[in-house]
Every structure is written in C-alpha cells, then in structure tokens.
Amino acid sequence: MSFSHNFDPTSLREYDIRGIVGKTLSAEDAFAIGRTFGSLVRRNNGKLVVVGYDGRLSSPMLEEALVQGVAECGLEVVRVGRGPTPMLYYASSALKADGAIMVTGSHNPPDYNGFKMMLAGKPFFGEQIRELGELAAKGDVVTLEKGSVREVDLREEYVQRLVRDYDGGERKLKIVWDNGNSSAGEVLEDLVALLPGEHIVLNAKIDGTFPAHHPDPTVAKNLEQLISVVRDNGADLGIAFDGDADRIGIVDNQGEILWGDQILVLLARDVLKTHPGATIIADVKASQVLFDEVARAGGKPLMWRTGHSLIKSKMAETGSPLAGEMSGHIFFADKWYGFDDALYAGVRALGIVARMDEPLSVFREALPLTISTPEVRFNCDDRRKFEVIEEVAARLKAEGADVSGIDGVRVNTADGWWLLRASNTQAVLVARAEGRDAAGLDRLKAALVAQLEQSGLEKPDFSGNNAGH
C-alpha cells in the first residue's frame, strides 16, 4: 500500500508536533507520525517503541492511530497507557526503547494536542521534525510486515522509583498539591500515599477540559487556588503541575510564588553539596540572581538557549547534574535520568524543605531582590523576527554593549539586563527585563523599546505587573 501524507505546516514545531484537533491535527496525522517516525527507528536499527498519552479528550483516538502507524513499520510497540509525560520518558529508559512518543497537548488549551518524541534515548526536535514532515510528504517509509503491540503498566514501578530518592527523613511536612486535572492524576495519588507527611491534593481527577484552571503553573492566576489552600491550612509548601506534569510550580509556606529560577537555586545548592564545581544550566530568561547564586554555592553557572530539547542536549554534552528553565522544566541527572519531571523535582524539593531548620519563605526572602517585567510576547512575522534580532545585535555591537548572543540578545548594563529573542515555536518576539530597582528597570525598558523602534516595530505592552524577584 502506497503512503504519502502532508501535515499542516503550522503543526511542525521546533520541539514537538502540535495543533488544534479537527483543524490542524487529526488521526490521519497521528498515523503518519507513527508510520514515518517508526521508519526512522527501523533505519536506525531499532526494534522497540514506547507510546503514552495524556488526559486530553482527543488523546486516546490519536494514540490508537499513532500505534497503528508505528506497528506498520514492523516494530514492537509497547503502550504504557495514560499518564504524565515523564512516565513515558521513564518507560523509554527502563525498557531500553529505541524510540518513544508521547501524545500530549502539554499546557495548551483543551482543543490542542500534540506529540513529543525521543529517538535512541535523545530528544527528537528541530531539523529532525522537519525531516519527518518531508519523508511523510514523499512517502519515504519502510515497508515491512506488521509488528507487535502489547501493553505494559509501569505506574507502580515509576512511583517506587520516584519515592526512592526522597531524602527528607521522617519529618512530617504538610503539602498541598495542585494536580490541575493533569495526566499525573493516579500517579500523584500513589506517590503521596508513600511519602511521609500530610498531603492535600487539589483537582486530582484527570480531566482534559481542565475545569479548575488553565494547566500552566508559570502564570500566577493559575496558582490562586493553591495559594489560598496553602495559607488556609498553614502548609509548608504547595506544588503545581502543567497539563502533562513535566513542568513544576512551587509556592512557599506564606503562599508566595517561587519562580522557575528560584526553584533552581533551591535545588542547585543541594546538588552542589555532592557535586562541588558542577555545571548548572539555566535558560537565557533566568534571573542574574540564579547565575550569581550558583557561582556562590561553588557551581559553574551556564546560560543556554530556551527549549527543553536544547537544555537536555546541553546537559548530556557537559555532564551537568541539574538544569532548569523559567518555564518550570527542571532536569535532574543527579540520581535521575536527565529528563524533565515535575513529580521528581517535587520529591527532591520536599526532601530539601524537610531538612531545613527554617520555613521555605526564609530561603525566598534571603535571595537578592530584583524587579522584573513579565515575559512579554508580541507578534512578528516568522522571517522578520530573526532579521530584527540580527539588526539589534549589529547595532549593540557597534555601540560596544555587553551582550550575550546565545539565544537572541541579552544585554547587561549597570541597571541589570534586558532580553530580546525570537520564539522557536511561534511568530512572536519575546522580551524581558530585570533591574535592581524601579528606575533602573524603566531605563532598561526604554533601551529595549528604542532598539525595537529602530527596527520599525511598535512598543510592546509592558503593562503586566512588574514582579519583585
């Protein structure tokens, strides 16, 4: 049977394949992904592919079509069922799979869905996703007899592995978890049953309509319920997940938010006790405080490009035991497998808090205070966005500015820093600034706006609340 398939071009992203179900993503697309990705696994001399799916309403239908496509490549397909994305990553490692695919819409609205992939234990992204699209269009796939399909339930094994690295002793914490109706549901219930302390679980039921709030723990509005319950119950901390539980949010005992880079400071200080001098990686959007605190704790801070696939690859290259992003992706290679797992990051954070002599709020309040803008995203044509970055970089170079060009431009001044980068996944530019005080932040924003205006762009809206950080 001949095969050829064209994907909606908007669905092939930098780090995954993603679209609106029924509009830019369908069961036919899922089958084609399986058929084409499976062919790449075969040509890589692979035999086994693991498949999982999240709690979205469209995920079972997409998973079924995906499995059919993979099986048609003559491969052994292991279905690990519904659960968080990190459980699929764990299955890939535990079963020594040659390929892995997760059906997940992550933190996107309920009508979205998508696919995250690994090939030979490494992230499958960028040029590889573009190649997958080209192979599907050409019908360049292997033709073999149908492979085998079986189901394996790894939930208990995964939970036991998570618990194994809890190192908080017997101190009984009071913890509020906001599952956010995410696909971690049953796994989280099993996990809290095995951890010491008192656990309150909110929105435990997996529900792809996300009735409580949008499943993105980096947005303060989505943490309001968690903050309220932490304060009302006098809890030691609160932990939240995104839709597929590969990103974490944390609030302290006072109900104040710890942002992604502050979470990384907490974890890095602990990891550096057993890995002195180790490289700790954070993305280009992270606070200067993080990089300074890692150095102060005896680590080697490394600023890298935003994107979970890019961070994972850099970790493997540098031998880093820990990395993180502002978006709440936390990656442990210390005792763990180098992938982003909010459940595991939560377990490690609990261990640290249980060993502390003071509340978590004391840690937060002791960090140097800065004032920053929220991350501002504004529309810019897909081709033009990269040209703007080049123009701004050239002008800054001519001015002799202190600039990092790792991912867009990050400009350091006496007032702090500002960042302008092109999104890898959308037709937008992303801006952020962090100052030592309000006046300094205003000067940083003015410098950023001046550069945008010189490239013919309008001033972005910085009206979101500036965050003390």
Q: Any idea which residue has 């790449």 for tokens? A: 40
Q: What does the DSSP assignment read for 283-304?
A: ETTS-HHHHHHHHHTT-EEEEE
Is the separation of the CB atoms in 407 and 420 below 8 Å? no
Cα angle 186-174-177, degrees, rounded to a multiple of 5: 35
Is the separation of the CB atoms in 378 and 446 below 8 Å? no
Rounded to 5, what percent of the chain is helix, strand, coil? Answer: 40, 25, 40
Q: What Rg do the C-alpha atoms of the chain give, in angstroms?
A: 22
Is 106 among the residues known to form the active site? yes
Is the separation of the CB atoms in 301 and 294 below 8 Å? yes
Q: Which of 59, 92, 106, 287 is catalytic?
A: 106
Q: Per DSSP, which regions of 10-119 are E strands?
A: 17-20, 48-53, 76-82, 99-103, 112-119
Length of the chain: 469
What is the Cα–Cα distance from 143 to 38, expressed in whole angstroms?
11
Any residues with CB less than 8 A from the CB of 179 and at least 6 apart, and which?
A: 185, 188, 201, 202, 203, 204, 205, 241
Is the separation of the CB atoms in 279 and 271 below 8 Å? no
Residue 402's Cβ-count burial label (10 Å; 0-12, 13-18, 19+) is exposed
What is the Cα–Cα distance from 91 to 322, expressed in whole angstroms?
21
Specify which residues 115 forms β-bridges with. Answer: 17, 103
The one-letter amino acid code at 310 reads L
Strands 257-258 and 48-53, by their bridges, are unpaired
Cβ count near 357 (within 10 Å): 5
- Residues with a known catalytic role: 106
